Amino acid sequence: MAAPRPPPPGAMGGGIAGSGGAVPAAGATPAGVSMRMFHGEVFLGEMEVSPMKQGAEGGLPFPSNEIRVSHLSPASERCPPLAILQTIAPFSVRCKLQSKLTPPHPSLHRLYLTCFNEFKSAVVVVGDEELHLVAMPTKTGKVPCFWCCSARSGLYAASVGMLNLRCLAIVFDLDETLIVANTMKSFEDRIEILSRRMDVEEDPVRIAGMSAEIKRYIEDKELLKEFIDTDTVTDNGKIVGTQREEVQPVSGQERILRPVIRLPDRNAILTRINPEIRDTSVFVKLRPAWEELRSYLTAKGRKRFEVYVCTMAERDYALEMWRLLDPEGNLISSQQLSERVNCVKSGKST
């Protein structure tokens, strides 16, 4: 097995009583606690765990005084794990771990070398939090030492993925940003609001603009009404029927065939959120230049951004709107939809 990478200058002293980073001054390190460490069900040995702070703030994050590694993080190709964690973690180093045996248990030594040489971290999952154990160089190099940082579940893997691919995250809203969607009720509301504004408006230019907008709403509303009643629309004198489009199931959902009419000349799509309930029909207009933006985001077959959707809409509606925007799953694959499309309630964060 290959020897560990030589420690970078100034990185020595990663042991329990070492110095560097947020380490307390010499002689001030809180006393360590002995804990058993596992990788899955494999026992790795006894570790001495020392918090970085004294008192109430120095509580150890491991439940039941047991360290159970569930998996290793993705390998970082560009940055050391500690640098990433100190950027995204809400706290600095939580505690330090060091083997109590010399030489250490062979399985622990292999885990340490894997993490150290391959820029990985050993991950302990605690609720919706991940505790990342980062292999650190030590003065002797004979006793495995880890520094523990915490991060929200999935955040570290997402950060590593973007750094490795050299692409950033981009978060899209849906309504009034990428699409304008209307039901029969929302069409009626929009027409009523504009009519009231016209009644008190004196500027003839603004009146003409609002009148043209009302006319467009009425035309689109008539198309939606026809779609609800007959599953067809009459566009420029031509009757257009529905196409049954298969919707990929998400998170165990059943396969759905959804009635859809696409009107490319109008840059519009009519769809039905629940195929069995006609009143869930929606008239959707895609924002101009969306196709150009989507092509840019996936230019030359390489994703320039990791795409996420955050909306206050209902989940079934949000998933259907995104399917219309990204029908081939080039921006968000079907396997990623459940975690990349986030529906939040008013006043709550994701």
Residue 324: per-residue pLDDT: 95
Q: Provide the token pair at 116.
A: 């150290």
* 272 in a structural domain: yes
Mean pLDDT of 292-320: 86
Strand order in the sheet with 33-39: 66-69, 33-39, 42-51, 95-99, 145-152, 129-136, 121-126, 71-72
Please tell me the total count of domains within the chain.
2
* 16 in a structural domain: no
Task: Check whether residue 302 and residue 338 sit in a common domain.
Answer: yes
Across all residues in the chain, what is the average pLDDT?
Answer: 86
* 142 in a structural domain: yes
Task: Check whether residue 183 and residue 231 sit in a common domain.
Answer: yes
pLDDT band at 166 (very low <50, low <70, confident <90, very high): confident
* 81 in a structural domain: yes
What is the per-residue pLDDT across 258-299, written as a single tens digit (0 to 9) for each?
999 999 999 999 999 999 999 999 999 998 889 888 888 887
Would the pLDDT of 132 be above 80? yes
Residue 52: per-residue pLDDT: 82
81, 155 Cβ separation under 8 angstroms: no
241, 231 Cβ separation under 8 angstroms: yes
- Among the listed residues 164, 167, 160, 158, the one whose alpha carbon sits nearest the alpha carbon of residue 350: 158
179, 46 Cβ separation under 8 angstroms: no
Task: Check whether residue 137 and residue 186 sit in a common domain.
Answer: no
Cα–Cα distance between 46 and 104 in angstroms, integer?
A: 9
Task: Check whether residue 191 and residue 297 sit in a common domain.
Answer: yes
Task: Check whether residue 195 and residue 323 sit in a common domain.
Answer: yes
Q: Which of 133, 165, 197 is the C-terminal boundary of a domain?
A: 165
- Among the listed residues 240, 230, 282, 294, the one whose alpha carbon sits nearest the alpha carbon of residue 262: 240
Higher pLDDT residue, 213 or 22?
A: 213
Residue 109's CATH number: 2.40.290
What is the per-residue pLDDT across 248-258, written as a single tens digit (0 to 9) for each?
777 667 788 99
Those residues with Cβ within 8 angstroms of residue 125's Cβ, 6 or more apart along the chain or in another chain: 70, 131, 153
Would the pLDDT of 81 be above 60? yes
Task: Check whether residue 161 and residue 225 sit in a common domain.
Answer: no
Q: Which of 110, 141, 165 is the C-terminal boundary of a domain?
A: 165
Task: Give me the amino acid identity at 335.
Answer: Q
259, 275 Cβ separation under 8 angstroms: yes
* 234 in a structural domain: yes
pLDDT band at 3 (very low <50, low <70, confident <90, very high): very low
Higher pLDDT residue, 212 or 345?
A: 212
Domain that holds residue 149: 33-53+63-165
Those residues with Cβ within 8 angstroms of residue 285's Cβ, 6 or more apart along the chain or in another chain: 179, 180, 181, 220, 266, 267, 268, 269
- Among the listed residues 231, 230, 219, 233, the one whose alpha carbon sits nearest the alpha carbon of residue 190: 219
Task: Check whether residue 150 and residue 129 sit in a common domain.
Answer: yes
* 49 in a structural domain: yes
pLDDT band at 24 (very low <50, low <70, confident <90, very high): very low
Cα–Cα distance between 61 and 94 in angstroms, integer?
A: 8
Higher pLDDT residue, 59 or 100?
A: 100
